[in-house]
Amino acid sequence: MSQRVLTTESGAPVADNQNSATAGAGGPVLIQDQHLLEKLARFNRERIPERVVHARGSGAYGYFEVTDDVTGFTHADFLSEVGRRTETFIRFSTVADSLGGADAVRDPRGFALKFYTDQGNYDLVGNNTPVFFIKDPIKFPDFIHSQKRDPFTGRQEPDNVWDFWANSPESTHQITWLMGDRGIPASYRHMNGFGSHTYQWTNAEGEAFFVKYHFKTNQGVRSLSAEQAAEQVGKDANSHQTDLLQAIERGVNPSWTLHVQVMPAAEAADYRFNPFDVTKVWPHADYPLQRVGRLVLDRNPDNVFAEVEQAAFSPNNFVPGIGPSPDKMLQGRLFAYADAQRYRLGINHTQLPVNAPRTATVDNYGRDGLHATRYGSRQDKNYEPNSYAGPAQTGAALASPLAVHGWTGTHEAPLHTKDDDFFQAGELYRLMSADEKDRLIANISGGLSQVTRDDVIEKNLAHFHAADADYGKRVEEAVRALRED
């Protein structure tokens, strides 16, 4: 095999990649050394803005295979036939820490999945928990500010974390998830994934259904205690990345079974709580899990930066048969996620290989902008309507229209009969075994006891009391004991 030739960015061969050009053997470096300047300039620009949230991530390619007929609920083409396979890319992540953070920490995990379908890319951007901390997107920047590094101390502050939660009682359910046994997954392979939000499916007859996605790990759920996690971080801060990479390299391909809960659209208005509230789950007794298919991961990325760091997901990347719901947090994410990628990667980030459709054809009037690679032919126009046979609209909506009424303005969500912030947190607590409860109380009290203001502690304790009397009593006693030590 002949030796490959090292070149500059413009393709010219490089004569010497070990020594800079200088004025004489011991003289100063020359500015005319094009290879040196190009190499340093490129190095200075090799990092892009990291994600504000979900900065630390790992990814893999795979496929989704339909195992059950769901055509009664959706006419999405990639779900139209049992046995059909669609290529996928998934990105797992932690939420609060920076790109250099550790994997084995107590934090929700992102579970973002891209389906490369024949009708365009479909992005399902979820977490490893079925609920979230807040229900309105206007609170999201404040929530994240409270969880990330304080601008003065430069570290995550318990005062900030618990003060926000003290003033956001709807967080109680997610706190109970996060501080419980599943708050630190043993690996990305050993956790479930959820769409979390409510989405809309529409069948070929135009009937609308609201759905929630559940990806159940076929490896079994495994988690770490706080002590095990601390030990793991000390051994390998990249433990989840290491595990995913090595498992796929060994041919041990992780998989998940996708189930959905399906609610006929007409039932949403009179359901006992707001079905579009992301701080709540739909009880399986009301809407049982229905199997759809399986997700298998079987190929590692060749380049983590190009494929994992530059992977861009947006919940508004829908395909025919799937659409949004009135979930307010989802509505906010429809804008925010795509806009974050425009900021990080530029307006043409969808042309990057990891983000570009694989089997669908992109044909629109976008031409310019940084890093544009899709120009069209010289006859193609960049406006519409036109008289030159350019691409035209179909007139067919992706999903069914949603009825709206009332006055514009800022409104609290209309109350259903059981719309309180605490009952599901209490139900989750009562489902736990005695040992699970012990660990939950220890995790919560360990953080809450570090808060310096008594009123913030009292507000949080009131939330746990409201969820369950025993829950509140035990947290209160544990916090008091820790503060007296």
The Cα 183–Cα 322 span in angstroms is 30
Q: What are phi and psi of 476, to 5 degrees?
A: -60, -45
The Cα 367–Cα 374 span in angstroms is 7
Residues facing 442 on adjacent strands: none
The yes-or-no answer on residue 167 being catalytic is no
Q: At what angle do helices 158-166 and 140-147 cross, to 10 degrees?
A: 150
H helix intervals, 371-484: 423-431, 434-448, 454-467, 469-484
* Chain center to CA of 363: 28
Strand residues in 29-154 grouped as ranges (E): 57-66, 85-94, 109-117, 120-127
Q: What is the DSSP string of 85-118?
A: EEEEEEEEEESSS-TT--SSSSS-EEEEEEEEET
The Cα 166–Cα 291 span in angstroms is 38
The Cα 480–Cα 436 span in angstroms is 21
Residues facing 149 on adjacent strands: 156
Instruction: Indicate which residue of 35, 75, 121, 127 is catalytic.
Output: 127
Element (H, E) at 470: helix 469-484
Q: What are phi and psi of 61, to 5 degrees?
A: -95, 160
- Written as six digits, the tokens of 68 are 């059950």
The yes-or-no answer on residue 173 being catalytic is no
Residue 292 near residue 70, CB atoms below 8 Å = yes
Catalytic residues: 54, 127
